[in-house]
Amino acid sequence: MSLFGASIRRKEDPRLLQGNGRYLSDIKLHGMVHAVFVRSPHAHALIRGIDSSAAAADPRVVCVLTPDDLPVGLPPLPCIDAEETTKPFNQPILATDKVRFVGEPVALVVVEGDRYIAEDIAGLVDVDYEPLPAVSTAEAAVAPDAPLVHFDSNVVDVLEYSVGDASSALAAAPHTLSERFITQRYAGTPLETRGVIVEWDEPRRGLTMWSSTQVPHSLKATLVGYLGLPENAVRVIAPDVGGAFGVKLQPYPEEIVLGLAAEQVGRPIKWVEDRYEHFLASTHGREQYHDVEVGYDDDGRILAIHDHAVTNTGAYLQRLTLVEPFIGVSMLSGPYVIEHQQLVSTVVMTNTTPLNPFRGVGHVQAAFTMERIVDLVAAAVGVDPGEVRKRNMFSKDVFPLHRGIGNVLAGEIIYDSGDYQECLRRAMAAAEWDDFRREQESARAEGRYKGIGIGFFVEETGLGPYESGRVRVEPSGQVIVFTGACSSGQGHDTVLAQITADELGVEFDDIVVVHGDTDLVASGVGTYASRSAPIGGTAVRHAAGSIKEQAIRIAAEMLEASPQDIELIGGEVRVKGSPGSSVSLAQVAGRVAPGQPLPAGVDEYTLDATDVYHPPTNTFSYGCHVATVEVDIDSGVVTLLRHVVVNDSGTLINPLLVDGQVQGGVALGIGGALLEEIVYGDDGQPLNANFMDYLVPAIGNMPEMVVEHMIVPTPLNADGMKGAGEGGAVGAPAAIANAVADAVLPFGAKITETPLGPETVYRALQDVS
Amino acid sequence: MSDHAVTIRVNGVERSESVPARLTLADFLRERLDLTATHLACEHGVCGACTVLVDGETARACLLLTVQADGSEVTTLEGLTEGDELGPIEQAFWAKHGMQCGFCTPGFVLTIAEMLDDNPNPTREEIIEGLGGNLCRCTGYVKIVEAVEEAVSLRGGGG
């Protein structure tokens, strides 16, 4: 049986289960010193001066770096500008004249000893702030007299897209409805915070940086730029990464400052973010509201939509911040045929931690908004939500489907493959929709309020521009796979070994996967946007395919046969039809080891192949979630009953691992639907920056979960893979919000925002009574 | 800041060290003894990633000072494994894909070890109750529950 498609146990686990994981904070180097960042306690303030003399006088201090100590003209953090229209709202590496959010790094203190001592001494750095009025919400930021975060307006960009003629279609529509839908600010909050170790190597005039990052190659490229070093002088290593979810997908100021300090300090420096710092200084996501007007007919067909989304992107535009406002509107219509769309996405800055993508960026808000609208339309026309969805969905015959929207961040939106109607049908069947309706009816008769809701989504996955894969066979017979993708817990070692084993017929246990080290992996992009399997996996598949061709060519000479007559099966290269005439892949690798003449027609002393795969365009996964809930009308408490997901990520390499991805995504979506919100006061002070007050779902929050897979392979890559990392997080809030709305429908309560904590639901019920 | 002499038996080995009063047990284990399977995630006693056994009972190593553990017996994940052989709980996590990034896993394994010692055959409700103090951000807990059920059967269940 082929390993490809099999639910096998992970390669990674025994090592981690024996306590042999090596996360960033586990690494100790000889002579290591410890760093702490001095951060702004103010949401908005001028820096009048920094006096670090008391700190610098402490004999344990190795170095203090303030903005004045950084190279003149050091560029701020990079930002990819969605439409190339925005002003430079990038974050300085250390705040110079002004701080714009609580937690913004202002200075670095490096000490001999340990983190405890480093924190003591960091407290001696005296920053003279002149506090300024601050603004923390998008609504407050657009008020005429709002404090200005940067220049003359807090509205820093407006992205606009349109398909058809929405204004005319809305005017002509038989019915319209309007509503505002609000998705709160929340964050990935991996259990492992960020952390960096940097070591300067004087003889080599270069440095090695270990960082808990999703993108070691992109961090390397950034360091090369900031430090003015040649590529070969910078090595970045991502050790075991304890979760990331997008929070670790960009180079951060701490990495650049530590890179700059490395040579001066001359000893390894370690910095590990604590949880409070993480809430302040690692990127957040989501905060976006949508003002929507939709036109529909008597049958519930949606004819036109006008959406104005407003995103609170925080104090700076980070590398990919603008993905949030872009995807939030561009993916709004999801699986639905809506001929006329006018989409406007306003980017607003405030004195809060910057936004950057995390698990399901933009899609979460888009799906929540659209799926709530569809349910409102269904209720207005008196048709079941499932039926209304069916009437509006694309058929399976439309692919490839050009949606007429695109930009530099995400490319043109072209849906590649799928069967949305079947996905909906299967999810409703798995949720026992009709039975639940009966159950709901009888529960209502007893004064108990249950609800069922659908959350359908289409999600842009498998983003380019490329990923690298390299396969090398050693004379021992071991196969080494190098990938530019980088694991933060997904199981890259396992699934890339499955692909390799499938292509080469070698034993799973004879495959070693290497990632997260820029000296060992020549090029790469990293892991985000559900890309490692479709892009990284395809590169490995291609590289292994080249190995196969090379092996056959070499074996042809060894076996004195023609290459056409040779096949590679079970790690043996043999002459077709004569099983006795064979050599092992190890022997083939040995035949091209240096120190001997090469076989005729072979020109390299290695059995080694690399592929750098550039996908033609992105893939689009999709799925249907159906949630059932019970709402306690007296308290507003929502209890989740069951959560069904039917997901199409294309071909599955390892269904067990994909189940894990979907289930984990659903948990994050449950957090977003019911629990998680990063709260700021009007003064820009964070109010719940710890795990006691910021509620991550615990085991008791989880409902019974059912995950099924539909497999419609994409034509865009060899194995038909579409990416599976994020969809769970995308569909869940929409489905849960619809289920809550369904539960409280008898009361006419409006459900238009997440998280649906008891207070929000209770107020929605009070507002109508 | 004066140091204090402590003697703690860690994974069966007696360790005598002189530590500052403010040194947490978690940092003692990680920084002094290089037992890095005890992870710090919230540093607040909420998430359970730093769970260890102190005299056989689960404790949050981030909330305990080393001096408070003086004279006690501490077990970390490293102490549950003998040689290369995985114990039943660890085997169950492997079999059922009960972990992804692995950062929370040591805390779960130790919590489950205590749970199954007290109650070798827990119901699903008892498992959920028992794991309420450990956060996992990757798995959605579904496969962790399955792993506990698998561990029960690997340990001979029904006990």
Residues A299 and A266 in one domain: no
Any domain includes A6: no
| DSSP annotation string for A127-172 | EEEEE-----SHHHHTSTTPPPSSSS-SEEEEEEEEES-HHHHHHH
**Cβ neighbours for A562, distance < 8 A, ≥ 6 positions apart:** A556
Instruction: Report how far residue A291's alpha carbon sits from residue A14's, in angstroms, rounded to the nearest whole number.
Output: 50
Number of H helices, E strands in chain A: 19, 28
DSSP class of A731: H
Please answer yes or no on whether B99 and A13 come within 8 Å at the CB atom. Answer: yes
Residues B70 and B11 in one domain: yes
Please answer yes or no on whether A242 and B86 come within 8 Å at the CB atom. Answer: no
CB interface of A with B, residues 704-733, below 8 Å: 705, 728
In chain B, residues with a C-beta closer than 8 Å to the C-beta of A12 are 102
Residues A46 and A120 in one domain: yes
Residues A756 and A621 in one domain: yes
Residues B93 and B43 in one domain: no
B104 and chain A in contact, CB less than 8 A? yes
Any domain includes A198: yes
**Cβ neighbours for B50, distance < 8 A, ≥ 6 positions apart:** B26, B38, B39, B40, B41, B60, B61, B62, B107
- From A692's Cα to the closest Cα of chain B, the distance in A is 6
Interface pTM, i.e. ipTM: 0.97
B119 and chain A in contact, CB less than 8 A? no
Residues A763 and A658 in one domain: yes
Instruction: Report how far residue A88's alpha carbon sits from residue A72's, in angstroms, rounded to the nearest whole number.
Output: 18
Instruction: Report how far residue B152's alpha carbon sits from residue B88's, in angstroms, rounded to the nearest whole number.
Output: 8
CATH of the domain at A518: 3.30.365.10
Please answer yes or no on whether B97 and A659 come within 8 Å at the CB atom. Answer: yes
Residues B58 and B123 in one domain: no
Chain B, nearest residue to A192 by Cα: B41
pLDDT in tens, A594-647: 999 999 888 899 999 999 999 999 999 999 999 999 999 999 999 999 999 999
Q: How many CB atoms lie within 10 A of CB B82?
A: 8
Residues B15 and B34 in one domain: yes
Chain A, nearest residue to B138 by Cα: A664
Residues A232 and A208 in one domain: yes
Indicate the number of domains in chain B. Answer: 2
- From B36's Cα to the closest Cα of chain A, the distance in A is 6
Please answer yes or no on whether A191 and B137 come within 8 Å at the CB atom. Answer: yes
**pLDDT band of B159, cuts 50, 70, 90:** very low
Instruction: Tell me which residues of chain A have a pLDDT lower than 70.
Output: 1, 82-87, 408, 769
A30 and chain B in contact, CB less than 8 A? no
Global pTM? 0.97
Nearest to A114 among B31, B36, B43 (CB): B31
Strand partners, A469: A483, A611
Instruction: Report how far residue A198's alpha carbon sits from residue A751's, in angstroms, rounded to the nearest whole number.
Output: 49
Any domain includes B25: yes
- From B39's Cα to the closest Cα of chain A, the distance in A is 8
CATH of the domain at A108: 3.90.1170.50
Please answer yes or no on whether B103 and A192 come within 8 Å at the CB atom. Answer: yes
Nearest to A536 by CA among A509, A520, A514, A508: A514
Please answer yes or no on whether A274 and B43 come within 8 Å at the CB atom. Answer: yes
Residues A343 and A258 in one domain: no
CB interface of A with B, residues 662-681, below 8 Å: 663-668
Residues A456 and A468 in one domain: no
Please answer yes or no on whether B41 and A14 come within 8 Å at the CB atom. Answer: no
Tell me the three-class secondary structure of chain B, residue by residue: CCEEEEEEEECCEEEEEEEECCCEHHHHHHHHCCCCCCCCCCCCCCCCCCEEEECCEEEECCCCEHHHHCCCEEECHHHHCECCECCHHHHHHHHHCCCCCCCCHHHHHHHHHHHHHHCCCCCHHHHHHHCCCCCCCCCCCHHHHHHHHHHHHHCCCCC
B156 and chain A in contact, CB less than 8 A? no
Residue type, A689: A
- From A192's Cα to the closest Cα of chain B, the distance in A is 6
In chain B, residues with a C-beta closer than 8 Å to the C-beta of A691 are 41-42, 44, 46-47, 135
| Token output for A427 | 């999810």
In chain A, residues with a C-beta closer than 8 Å to the C-beta of B30 are 25-26
DSSP class of A319: T
Chain B, nearest residue to A189 by Cα: B137
Please answer yes or no on whether B39 and A13 come within 8 Å at the CB atom. Answer: no
In chain B, residues with a C-beta closer than 8 Å to the C-beta of A690 are 42, 44, 46
DSSP class of A533: I
Any domain includes B159: no
pLDDT in tens, A499-523: 999 999 999 999 999 999 999 999 9
Indicate the number of domains in chain A. Answer: 3
Q: Is the pLDDT of residue B84 over 90?
A: no
Residues A530 and A652 in one domain: no
Instruction: Report how far residue A404's alpha carbon sits from residue A343's, in angstroms, rounded to the nearest whole number.
Output: 12
Contact A293, A306 (CB under 8 A): yes
- From B55's Cα to the closest Cα of chain A, the distance in A is 20
In chain B, residues with a C-beta closer than 8 Å to the C-beta of A665 are 140
- From B88's Cα to the closest Cα of chain A, the distance in A is 11
Residues B142 and B76 in one domain: no
Any domain includes A516: yes
Best mutation site among A699, A702, A705, A706 for testing chain B: the one with the most B CBs within 10 Å? Answer: A699
CB interface of B with A, residues 46-85, below 8 Å: 46-47, 49, 76-78, 81, 84
- CA torsion sign, B75 to B77 to B81 to B82? negative
Residues B72 and B15 in one domain: yes
Residues A604 and A586 in one domain: yes
Residues B62 and B15 in one domain: yes
CATH of the domain at B138: 1.10.150.120
User: The sheet that has A619-631: what strands, in order across it?
Assistant: A449-461, A619-631, A638-648, A704-709
A757 and chain B in contact, CB less than 8 A? no
Nearest to A489 among B102, B129, B140 (CB): B102
Residues B57 and B105 in one domain: no
Residues B101 and B131 in one domain: yes
Residues B97 and B75 in one domain: no
Residues B11 and B56 in one domain: yes
In chain B, residues with a C-beta closer than 8 Å to the C-beta of A663 are 139-143
Please answer yes or no on whether B132 and A488 come within 8 Å at the CB atom. Answer: no
Residues A675 and A542 in one domain: no
CA B45-B49-B51 angle, 5° bins? 75
Instruction: Report how far residue B68's alpha carbon sits from residue B46's, in angstroms, rounded to the nearest whole number.
Output: 19
Nearest to A37 by CA among A88, A100, A102: A102
Any domain includes A157: no
In chain A, residues with a C-beta closer than 8 Å to the C-beta of B41 are 191-193, 242, 275, 691
Please answer yes or no on whether B94 and A10 come within 8 Å at the CB atom. Answer: yes
Please answer yes or no on whether A668 and B94 come within 8 Å at the CB atom. Answer: no
3-class DSSP state for residue A590?
helix
Residues A596 and A483 in one domain: yes
Any domain includes A703: yes
A445 and chain B in contact, CB less than 8 A? no
Residues B13 and B76 in one domain: yes
Please answer yes or no on whether B77 and A692 come within 8 Å at the CB atom. Answer: no
| Token output for A161 | 């897209």
Domain extent at residue B137? 88-154
Residues A126 and A274 in one domain: yes
Domain extent at residue A446? 288-462+616-768
- CA torsion sign, A137 to A46 to A283 to A525? positive
> pLDDT value at position B2?
83
Longest dimension (CA), chain A: 89
Please answer yes or no on whether B138 and A241 come within 8 Å at the CB atom. Answer: no
CATH of the domain at B30: 3.10.20.30
DSSP class of A95: -
Nearest to A664 among B102, B109, B140 (CB): B140
